[in-house]
Amino acid sequence: MKANHTHPYFNWGVGLLIFLYFYLSSFMLFHLKDWKLQLWNAPLLDLGSTAVEALTWFIPTLLLFTGGALAFFRTQRIGLYVSLGLLTIYTSYVAVRLFHTVPNSCSCGGGWITLSLPWQLGMGLLSIGLTFTLLLQRKKI
């Protein structure tokens, strides 16, 4: 088996992404009723009942899968690609909501509300996470 000789910052970054995905997915699953209500009320998404039901379970499951993929050396590359996609989609959605349409909270499962972060800081953290994931993609795993 090949030894994993990665930079410590890489391991810290992957660890932070794992924490992020497990935290958000568990928050969504433990507050399922609120999460479903946020999906119903998402102003930029015109979702029907079938889509809301599917997304209510699909998004937390995808977050758990991504965190799990990042946790193991053999699947980190897949986890990083999925992470890049998730962070790109979510950061774009939040940016559109913040800068062009509705200035209130988004359907993140209540993560920002729990942490009491202002939206500008939350957007900055998302941008940093997206940039960091891009940098991790360039690293050879």
Min mean pLDDT across 25-29, 34-38, 123-127 is at 123-127
- pLDDT surpassing 90 at residue 91: no
Nearest to 120 by CA among 100, 95, 96, 102: 95
Residues 32-62: tens digit of each pLDDT: 888 888 878 776 667 777 888 888 899 999 9
4-8 mean pLDDT: 61
Domain ranges of the chain: 8-138
Q: What angle do CA 14, 81, 126 make, to 5 degrees?
A: 60
pLDDT of residue 102: 57
Q: Which of 54, 65, 53 is nearest to 24 (CA)?
A: 65
Mean pLDDT for 9-20 is: 81
pTM score: 0.72
C-alpha 28/C-alpha 46 separation (Å) is 20
pLDDT the model gives residue 60: 92
User: What pLDDT, on a 0 to 100 scale, did the predictor assign at position 117?
Assistant: 54
CA angle, residues 60, 47, 98, in degrees to nearest 5: 75
Mean pLDDT, residues 103-130 taken together: 58
Total count of residues recorded for the chain: 141
